[in-house]
Amino acid sequence: MNKVILSITLISMGLIISCGGGDTTAPNAAETAVTEAPKADPKGIGAITSVTLTDPMEQSMIASGKAIYEMKCSACHKLDGMRVVGPGFSGITNRRRPEWVMNMITNTEVMLEKDPAAQALLEECLMRMPNQNLSTGDARDVLEFMRKNDEDTAGKKDGAVNS
């Protein structure tokens, strides 16, 4: 009789200890899940917070942007929608804000580290875009060339300006 009582006592102690352990960790895990989830800025991360676009486009900037593209970008980015190493540029001004595009070009490392949209691309492409060391002016010229390319290849440009 005494033996039965003792084993019942031991079993209940075991239950109390294991339940206690489980209860202390569960709420912490739930709290962490709620406090994370960063909100993506559609302008990206970097020095470019506002871009003024002109219409009609600036021909001299398009020419300069085209030359920079051919020298520093065309090995990895095509002008149609096809991905080679990086995504094709067609339609880029319709899916990304101009500030995001320029921050991606001039602040590449930080964008790949912290911007959710850039990180998603990195997961798809499996290779880090190297910073091409463009000045803000050069990046703006490339953006103008991308606008022209979108007009020619996608039939529409600047679709993401206010996204």
Binding site for ligand HEC (CB under 6 A): 68, 72-73, 75-77, 85-87, 92, 96, 101, 104-105, 112, 121-122, 125, 127-130, 132, 134, 142
Cβ neighbours of 111 (radius 10 Å): 23
Q: Smaller CB distance to ligand HEC: residue 30 or 137?
A: 137
Write down the least CB distance from residue 59 to ligand HEC, Å: 19
Write down the least CB distance from residue 97 to ligand HEC, Å: 11
From the list 136, 69, 76, the residue with the least C-alpha distance to 106 is 136
Tokens found for residue 41: 């800025």
From the list 78, 68, 45, the residue with the least C-alpha distance to 138 is 68
Which residues are within 8 A (CB) of 108 and not within 5 positions of it... i.e. 6 or more apart? 129, 130, 131, 132
Q: Smaller CB distance to ligand HEC: residue 7 or 85?
A: 85
Q: Smaller CB distance to ligand HEC: residue 58 or 74?
A: 74
Write down the least CB distance from residue 124 to ligand HEC, Å: 7
Q: Smaller CB distance to ligand HEC: residue 14 or 99?
A: 99
Residues 129, 63 contacting (CB under 8 angstroms): no
Write down the least CB distance from residue 76 to ligand HEC, Å: 3
Residues 97, 103 contacting (CB under 8 angstroms): no
The C-alpha atoms of residue 129 and residue 122 are separated, in whole angstroms, by 8
Q: Smaller CB distance to ligand HEC: residue 86 or 159?
A: 86
Write down the least CB distance from residue 74 to ligand HEC, Å: 8
N-to-C CA span, the chain: 76
From the list 96, 102, 105, the residue with the least C-alpha distance to 48 is 102
